[in-house]
Amino acid sequence: MHENAKIASANAETFNMFNICMSLQASDGGGGGGDAWRRSCYEALTVCMRSNPFVGEPHLVVAQLYLEDGQWEEAERCAVEGTRLLEVFATSWDK
């Protein structure tokens, strides 16, 4: 597979996984759902971050989940990385 096609495929997979998580959050009325919802979001967003490590939004959503779970250090780590990526690439990927 050509390198550009690989990048496009990884970006599409990442975007789809991000949208799955956001859809789960929206269908739950904002994300207060139970453990199954959280596990699904963490898994989807982890795939996002691994598939395309240059995108900040998944890091920021994971930071929010960590905050809600009281995992302050993990939340800070993800928030810092997410905002760093947004600053470096100066784009809103999920729009």
pLDDT at 84 over 90: yes
pLDDT at 18 over 60: yes
Report the alpha-carbon distance of residue 91 to residue 65 in Å, rounded: 22
The tokens for 67 are 């905050």
List pLDDT tens digits, range 51-80.
888 888 889 989 988 998 899 999 999 999
The reported pLDDT for the residue numbered 25 is 61
Half-sphere exposure of 3 (CA within 13 A, CB side): 0
Q: pTM for the whole thing? A: 0.71
